[in-house]
Structure 1
């Protein structure tokens, strides 16, 4: 029989400080980590307050880092970014702040480059099927539908 590892408040605090220092985290991730460590609700609250006071945990900083990374590396659109942040229980105000960090010109430039590359990689001969594959690809990644449909009409003829 395997026993559960238990942590003192001090050990758990140190472990979570390291967890938050390694990578930006949101409150939901930290709370889940503490629950997985079998910490009681009172201890969870004490540790989260400690992390907030010592600047290990910052929801705005997390949202900005998340948006920046997912946009530049995975090329997600604004809608997907918003959806994923909502799943992490980030406030609407914080989400909007983070999304505004993306410059409009950079956003459209990346969309233009991605759409041209994607058009070249779709090996479909039927125009309608090719257009559908293009549209599905970009809608899944959270790009605005008016941009996607306009670009599909423009590039796929």
Structure 2
């Protein structure tokens, strides 16, 4: 038993709800169209309609995504950029999103995460402690040069 084919209008309605609930990337909407079983020939038309009605906006998605991952998950720029690339977001939108992350907040978060991680490893040897702190910050997606500077400043004290 196969499921009934949705009309273009029904699909558009479903996708309006999908996009209104939360910012979406173009690739997420395309995946949703496949899930709904919409004919490939109708994809571009539906996506164009969503963009026209301002349900779908790649730049807005990128800014919301970057801001959310930075504030909630405490990710660094490297990891955020990588994730946006995975979602096939344009370089232009990625640059716009990166500009929205405040430099002072970014450095403050990096220092806070470094201090917390370093403090949590107080039973480790100095070099092991330093290395594990650096690895943790790399995994969080911060830039290597910023990590080195921050960890070195932290271990000087």
| TM-score of Structure 1 vs Structure 2, range by shorter chain | over 0.9
Consecutive unaligned residues of structure 2, counting only runs of 5 or more, are none
Consecutive unaligned residues of structure 1, counting only runs of 5 or more, are none
1:126 and 1:120 map into 2 onto residues whose CA distance is 12
Runs of 4 or more consecutive aligned structure 1 residues displaced over 3 Å after TM superposition: none
> What TM-score do the two structures reach when normalised by structure 1?
0.93
Which aligned pairs between 1:4-153 and structure 2 lie closer than 5 A?
Answer: 4-153=3-152
Kept in 2: contact 1:68–1:102 (CA 8 A): yes
Using the TM superposition, give the Cα deviation of residue 8 of structure 1 relative to its aligned residue in structure 2, in angstroms. Answer: 1.3
Q: In the comparison of the two structures, how many residue pairs are matched?
A: 156
Kept in 1: contact 2:134–2:151 (CA 8 A): yes
Kept in 1: contact 2:110–2:150 (CA 8 A): no
1:35 and 1:124 map into 2 onto residues whose CA distance is 52
1:126 and 1:92 map into 2 onto residues whose CA distance is 42
> What TM-score do the two structures reach when normalised by structure 2?
0.93
1:56 aligned counterpart, secondary structure: coil
